[in-house]
Amino acid sequence: MHSPFPGMDPYLEYPAFWSSFHTRMMVAIAEAIEPQLSPLYYVDVESRTYQSDEGNNELLIGIPDAIVFSRQSNPPSEEVPSVEESVVATQPRPETVAVPMPIEVKERYLEVREMGTDDVIAVIELLSPKNKRSGEGRTAYEKKRRLILGSETHLVELDLLRGAKPMAILGVRSLCVYRILISRSQHRPRADLYGITLQQPLPSFPIPLKPNDPEPIVPLQELFDHVYERGRYGSRIDYHQSVPLPKLSKTSF
């Protein structure tokens, strides 16, 4: 079953689906480019971990190993002490409460490395809500992004989320809701930006390597269709529900 949208499906931005979609897509990209690489390179699937205690259940839905607290629908009633008992029993009873537990949030990204030296040639990122929302996740990602942009490593950054604040890019004229940034180290500060609307198929794009080396091509729409089908999202998503926030605007199309 195919998505009813020609390219990116905004319903996948629901937290219940995004975590698994993110992981599946990163693995799919790694498997697509690996056969195209010369023996001089290899691809690593890396992960970073955040400790989050935001208490936002929407962010945690679909995250493996998330801790969930459930409320009893009919909590046991406490006996009301008599006047005589209330006078005698002055020792207060403890109230059952809960403390904010840190939730471990993992994000995958890819690194194309040089065989032998293990030097990181290119980093491929698919942004998550944690990266784009203000807080620890965005601060950590922005720091990493600055380090990459100040180095000899290429950056490929996919933003397939409409919500929250986009990453800083100068001179953007397009108002497209989805973006793919390809920053080649030798061309900085210039970079290539693919702007994508909901009515467009996802583009294919190259992964930069060392000069004069053949660059693998990521057939993003083909990979998306594969991930969508393997994840059986067509059977899991209720398309009668409204699109997740933010609401669709004219710039979405």
Q: Dump pLDDT digits (tens) for 163-173.
A: 888 999 999 88
pLDDT band for position 157 (cuts 50, 70, 90): very high
Predicted pLDDT at 48: 77
Neighbours of 136 (CB within 10 A): 15
For 27-37, the pLDDT digits (tens) are: 999 999 999 99
**Residue 89 domain-assigned (yes or no):** no
Structure-token pair, residue 6: 């020609």
Neighbours of 20 (CB within 10 A): 17
Number of domains comprising the chain:
1
pLDDT band for position 246 (cuts 50, 70, 90): confident
Residues 244/14, Cβ–Cβ less than 8 Å: yes
Does residue 84 register a pLDDT over 80? no
Predicted pLDDT at 43: 97
Structural domain containing residue 202: 10-68+102-242
pLDDT band for position 67 (cuts 50, 70, 90): very low
Q: Apex CA 50: angle with CA 44 and CA 53, to 5°? A: 160
Return the higher-pLDDT residue of 43 and 69. 43
Predicted pLDDT at 162: 92
**What is the value of pTM for the model shown?**
0.79
pLDDT band for position 118 (cuts 50, 70, 90): very high
Half-sphere exposure of 27 (CA within 13 A, CB side): 10
**Residue 73 domain-assigned (yes or no):** no
Structure-token pair, residue 105: 């949030």
**Residue 202 domain-assigned (yes or no):** yes
**Residue 79 domain-assigned (yes or no):** no
**Residue 107 domain-assigned (yes or no):** yes
pLDDT band for position 103 (cuts 50, 70, 90): low
**Residue 133 domain-assigned (yes or no):** yes
pLDDT band for position 252 (cuts 50, 70, 90): low
| Residue 23 identity (one-letter amino acid) | T
**Residue 81 domain-assigned (yes or no):** no
